[in-house]
Amino acid sequence: MLTAAVYPVLFAVAGEAWSQRAARLGTIAGVCVAVMAAVALVVGSYHTVAETLIGMGVGFTVAWANPRRPPRELSVSRPPPIARLVLCAILIVMIPVSLYPIRARLWSHGLVWLGVSERYTRTIRMDPASGRTIVTVVQLPLPSLRTNSELF
């Protein structure tokens, strides 16, 4: 929901400094980033398809309802430096996020920061013979800290 609400608006505002067409392309790029994030959440089993579709619907509704300002005329032919800075900051953040498994890194560092000493995973499945729901809980080892991390 958050990615669908934030990225289309953020990229549109960043592109607005150049032109109306750049703002539309920014909106399309933001929608693509939000859809990729949704697919990653479903594939990684962090959310169900229904949760993801509902969240994307709410997020895109919020992004669509975002108050639009009328296009303004810029007196300069080049985009302002602050727009370049925002675009560079977005790229600097988005490139590492898309290339590295952030969730695993946050687990490995965040668990130690919070003092967590155990980690569990669960699976829920139906027994085909009896039709009963079987819940399996497995204790996992904590991920080891990497001393030479590219991101943190």
pLDDT digits (tens, 9 = 90+) for 11-67: 888 888 788 888 888 888 889 989 988 888 888 778 888 888 888 888 888 888 875
CA dist 143 → 45, 47, 108, 114, 149 (Å): 19, 22, 5, 14, 13
Tell me if residue 133 falls in helix, strand or coil: strand
Partners of 124 in the β-ladder: 135
**Angle between helical axes of 20-43 and 49-65 (0-180°, round to 10):** 160
The residue-averaged pLDDT of 121-144 equals 85
Partners of 136 in the β-ladder: 123
Tokens of 70: 């009328």
Whether pLDDT at 111 is above 80: no
Q: What is the pTM of this model?
A: 0.47
pLDDT digits (tens, 9 = 90+) for 88-106: 787 777 766 665 666 666 6
